[in-house]
Amino acid sequence: MKTLPNRKITVALLFGGRSGEHEVSIDSAESILAALNPRKYEVLQIGITKEGEWLAGPDMVAYLRSGRGKAKSVSLQPEPRGQKKRWQDQVDVVFPILHGSFGEDGKIQGLLELAGLSYVGSDTLSSAAGMDKEIMRRVFQAHKLPVPLYEAVLKKEWKGKNSSILRHIKKSLQFPVFTKPANLGSSVGIRKCANVSQLAQGLQTAFRYDTKAIVDQGILGRELNCAILGNEDARASEVCEVKTKREFYDYDAKYTDDDTEIIIPARVSKTVRAEVQKLSLSAFHALRCSGLARVEFFLEKKTGKILLNEINTLPGFTSHSMYPRLWNFSGVSFGQLCDELIGYAIKHQAERKSLKFTY
Ligand SMILES: Nc1ncnc2c1ncn2[C@@H]1O[C@H](COP(=O)(O)OP(=O)(O)O)[C@@H](O)[C@H]1O
Ligand SMILES: [Mg+2]
């Protein structure tokens, strides 16, 4: 099937956004802009402000960082096409490099789909399911993939029944446990809790960010990651280990701490490496992801068990982020990664377009 046009491909790079990862997204976009070969691509830069306004201009990276420069407001209208010339009609593929809420959670993907556009990454359902830590775990469990023990708690249940919920969790899990808002990222709102009173505080914190929280059995061990690239034919990268001197891989360990180490390749046995790669692919396909994902694991010290923690469907994409670094080690350069992702997006859209929606 011929999917890539013979002329220059017009890519709309969408970045910034309303999530806590606004700045990371700008950094990711800057790396992508530097890597896209100008002989192959025409790039339309669309920056989304923290307030959610969409702006287009020649240097949106600088504009979003400083508020200075040229930018005009743009919007995305759903199909069908009208008389007016619209930016989206010139675009072959959208590269939404938006991490976290409103970017990685299926919302923007739904909008792009309504507008009939090809886009890099997973579609609405896979993105939304990959964002919700309870739904994701349920899908993994249905596919018999090993996950840590956990409980999901709704804010409305918590309000009325604090003590019975705490009693239940005390019975079903062992301390330490981790409390997390169900739909967030970057370790925001996550607490490690050593006892019942910390658990109560941890849940209270999680409910500031979401109406659903999950409580995880704390796993003592090492953290491993693997990157996935492709659609149905996806492949797995080398495996890395993340090491932090902090209590866990929290926000500061991710973004501010210079001591955090990413060890590629992880010093693990061939069997562990192969198992992590296999489980990463299974997790990717279980959620029917597309394009890319970074998958996180725990290697439990006591038992040697590999447990699947989560999948990130739009992982950090700066030149020093884990995802491109894993691929770089596995022989795929940053530029090649962008080329492949754009190709996969166009292929995926061709498949969507071939489907019928009426009788
Ligand atoms: N069950 C657990 N056992 C041990 N550490 C955990 C557990 N859950 C989370 N953590 C720690 O918290 C970090 C962030 O949790 P994670 O579930 O990956 O959320 P996020 O989506 O914010 O990255 C993990 O990388 C790990 O260091
Ligand atoms: Mg994580």
pLDDT digit string, tens, across residues 263-318: 999 999 999 999 999 999 999 999 999 999 999 999 999 999 999 999 999 999 99
* Ligand closest in space to the Cα of 147: 1
- DSSP-assigned letters across all residues of 254-308: HHT-TT-EEESS-S--HHHHHHHHHHHHHHHHHTT--EEEEEEEEEETTT--EEE
Domain-terminating residue out of 185, 217, 249 = 217
Residue 4 confidence (pLDDT):
67
Q: Residues 62, 32: contact at Cβ < 8 Å?
A: no
Is pLDDT of 84 > 90?
no
- Shared-domain flag, residues 79 and 181: no
User: How far is the C-alpha of 125 from the C-alpha of 73, rounded, in Å?
Assistant: 29
- Residues 18, 20, 21: CA angle, nearest 5 degrees: 90
Whether 169 maps to a domain, the answer reads yes
145 Cβ partners below 8 Å, 6+ apart? 279, 282, 283, 286, 308
Q: Is the pLDDT assigned to residue 124 strictly greater than 60? A: yes
Q: How far is the CA of 249 from the centre of ligand 1 (A)?
A: 7
Within a domain: 73: yes
User: Based on the structure, what is the number of domains in the chain?
Assistant: 3
Residue 282 lies in a domain: yes
Please report whether residue 336 resides in a domain. no
Nearest ligand to the CA of 136 is 1
Asked if the structure places residue 255 within a domain, the reply is: yes
Distance CA 92, CA 89 (A): 8
Question: Model confidence over 181-236: pLDDT tens digits?
Answer: 999 888 899 999 999 999 999 999 999 999 999 999 999 999 999 999 999 999 99
Q: How far apart are the first and last CA of the chain?
A: 25
Residues with CB under 6 A from ligand 1: 148, 178, 180, 185-187, 190, 216-219, 223, 248-249, 296, 298, 309-310
pLDDT tier at 256 (50, 70, 90 boundaries)?
confident
Q: Is residue 175 part of a domain?
A: yes
Q: How far is the CA of 193 from the centre of ligand 1 (A)?
A: 12
Looking up residue 160, the CATH number of its domain turns out to be 3.30.1490.20
Which one of 171, 199, 217 terminates a domain?
A: 217
Q: Which of 312, 157, 162 is nearest to 228 (CA)?
A: 312
Closest ligand to 130 CA?
1
Token digits of residue 337: 């990664």
Is 322 within a domain?
Answer: no
Burial class (CB in 10 A: 0-12, 13-18, 19+), 130: buried
Give 296 Cα–ligand 1 centroid separation in angstroms: 9
Contact predicate 107/123, CB 8 Å: no
Question: Hey, which of 135, 177, 180, 261 would you mutate to test ligand 1's pocket, going by the most ligand atoms within 8 Å of its Cβ?
Answer: 180
Amino acid occupying residue 96: P
DSSP letter string, 179-207? EEESS--TTTT-EEESSHHHHHHHHHHHH
Q: Does one domain contain both 14 and 156?
A: no
CATH number at residue 247: 3.30.470.20
The reply to whether 264 and 138 lie within a common domain is yes
Residue 90 DSSP class: G
Task: Provide the residue range defining the domain that includes 107.
Answer: 9-120
